[in-house]
Amino acid sequence: MREVRTLVLDLDGTLAETAGDLIGALNVVMAHEGLEPVPVAAARSLLGAGGRALIQRGYARAGRELSQHKLDALFVDFLAYYNAHIADNSWLFPGVEACLDRCAAAGWRLAVCTNKLEYSSHLLLGKLGAAERFRFICGQDTFGVAKPDPKPLLETIRECGGLPSCAIMVGDSVTDIKTARAAGVPVIAVDFGYTDVPVSELGPDRVISHFDDLFEAAEALYPALT
């Protein structure tokens, strides 16, 4: 029986450019608190760990302390605004759709594992016309723990009917690379995502600069898995 091959992709900064809407929602929250807006150019050092972490990093950048109670309240406001404007200024990276079609045709089962909340992940991918391409979409809250804990990745692979020994992670940051390593899964890093350290310095198995290169990178890694 042929093994189930699973390709699990991060969302923000990997599948889609989402900085404009995420930083936009952060700035709405910060404006209500009288804080200066964060430029989108700063997104790559702020994004990647979910909405709460984004707010914390935004406040730290402004030199403001933030209690857990205040963070929880701000996150409610952030999430409401973000979900209402989730695809105003977000889009799939070039080549994503063609790449996913090619991978699916070759037998890869496709999934998403992100630190965005599950509802928001489905909402965004639906707005971008990509949700139906994935067998499973895992958010930060799906299994009660976020990346870099390996559980979300391992459970996502299981939900696809696969095994870690026949799976590959695709991400853009140290969070994704740590998650894959903890799960014992090879990792391909895109070099156009949200990281303040070049992904080539973080030790992924492959680095790609365009989705046109993902299929070949995944196929090259797969023989080593079996």
Q: How distant, in Å, are the alpha carbons of 138, 141, 146 from that of 116? A: 9, 8, 9
Q: Specify whether 103 is located in the same domain as 190.
A: yes
Token pair in block for residue 32: 């209500």
Helix (H, G, I), strand (E, B) or coil at 9: strand
Question: Residue 1: its pLDDT value, please?
Answer: 39
Domain that holds residue 207: 5-17+90-225
Last residue of a domain, one of 84, 104, 123: 84
Last residue of a domain, one of 48, 66, 84: 84
Last residue of a domain, one of 48, 65, 84: 84
What is the CATH number for 70?
1.10.150.240
Question: Residue 202: its pLDDT value, please?
Answer: 94
Helix (H, G, I), strand (E, B) or coil at 113: strand
Close Cβ partners of 78 (under 8 Å, ≥ 6 residues apart): 25, 26, 28, 29, 51, 54, 55
The dihedral built from the CA positions of residue 194, 10, 176 and 28, taken in this order, carries a sign that is positive
Tally of structural domains, the chain = 2
Residues of the chain above pLDDT 90, percent: 76
Residues in a beta bridge with 85 = none
Q: Specify whether 78 is located in the same domain as 149.
A: no
Q: Specify whether 185 is located in the same domain as 168.
A: yes
pLDDT tens for residues 192-226?
998 888 999 999 999 999 999 999 999 999 865 55
pLDDT tens for residues 63-114?
888 889 989 999 999 999 999 999 999 999 999 999 999 999 999 999 999 9
Q: CB–CB of 175/15 below 8 Å?
A: no
Whether residue 129 has pLDDT greater than 90: yes
Is 10 part of the annotated catalytic residue set? yes
What is the CATH number for 117?
3.40.50.1000
* pTM of the predicted protein model: 0.92
